[in-house]
Amino acid sequence: MLLKVFSKRHSEAAKDAYLTAPARQRIWYLFEEADPLFDPGNSGWDLCYEALKDRLMKEHGWTELRSYASREEWEKVNARNFILKGVPRFVLDATELFCDLLVEHKSSGCRTPTDPIKYQSKLNAIFEDANLPWRMLEGRILRMDSKWLEAEIHSKAGELLSVRGFEGASAEFQQARSDLSSGDCKGAIHGANLALESTMKGILGIEHAKPGAMIRKLIDSGLVPDYHEGFLKAFEEQILRSVPTTRNLEKGVGHGQGSDVNQPPNSLAELAVNLTGVLILYLLKRHLELHSIETGAETGTKEKEEDADIPF
């Protein structure tokens, strides 16, 4: 399941995205370098000019690529000039879609494929050299500050929890986020634990189980790669149990707080909710890799259409 492109994941915040002119030029040079089909002397089909243009237009429902000087002033452009002069958030979309193209081309059995990981590494170097906040991780652009990272984690976890059978976990995770934003740190930690437990129950198809036994069943199911026994033990004790442990040991969260009123610090609640999001992402991605599950889109739910004709 591919996640939405940058401009759709962050429809409002992405409007403030920016890129420098040298960074744009270097991005285009990278596209040409990474494209295994690109030949400056050949006008045939390639990834950076033809396939990327086609993918961008289909992604946004456009009939052509444009660069805008204002609402009234725009010009039709090719893929290269779109990268050099196009709206920044859609240029960042292009970097993601080009990575998707490289992944697809490599999986097609091409004799000289480009490694998408190397492309990602070089793209991140461009962003870093230009002191830009963008980084690519797993083929998708992130803004490297805490608020954006938090939003990305929550957005991805929420999207994956839309699969059938995880409605309870989705509601609990949304409640944990709501409690966190309203300052209810105890509620946030408690909700995070519930969401993680419900996710594991949904994966295992069980209704009742103690956390330790459930985690053991999760590992025994083969969902976690069986690299070696030490890894499984560390994953169980230090990662999977981290959120439930926070809930159980923090006074006043899972048990009575005693004679003193205890309020968990906001930083601990943030850790619990964000770590839960990361764990849910990992577990659901592994589950989706191993099983075919219907999503809301596949059962008839329609996404709200976005008006991307004029990007202002």
pLDDT level of residue 245 (50, 70, 90 thresholds): low
Phi/psi of residue 145, nearest 5 degrees = -145, 165
Cα maximum dimension of the chain: 79
For the stretch 191-206, pLDDT in tens is 888 888 888 888 888 8
Mean of pLDDT values over 294-308: 41
Residues spanned by CATH 1.20.120 within the chain? 148-290
For the stretch 124-150, pLDDT in tens is 999 999 999 898 888 888 887 666 666
Q: Say what the pLDDT of residue 304 is.
A: 40
| Architecture of domain 148-290 in this structure | Up-down Bundle (1.20)
**pLDDT of residue 306 exceeding 50:** no
Percent with pLDDT over 90 in the chain: 31
Q: How far apart are CA 98 and CA 232, in angstroms?
A: 35
Average pLDDT of the chain, as a whole number: 79
| Lowest mean pLDDT, pick from 165-169, 239-243, 259-263 | 259-263
Q: Own/partner pairs for 248-257, CB < 8 Å, 24+ apart?
A: 250/189, 252/186, 253/186, 253/189, 253/190, 254/190, 254/193
Query: Quick check: pTM over 0.75?
Result: no
Residue 260, token pair as written in the block: 């003193």
Q: Say what the pLDDT of residue 255 is.
A: 47
Q: Say what the pLDDT of residue 288 is.
A: 75
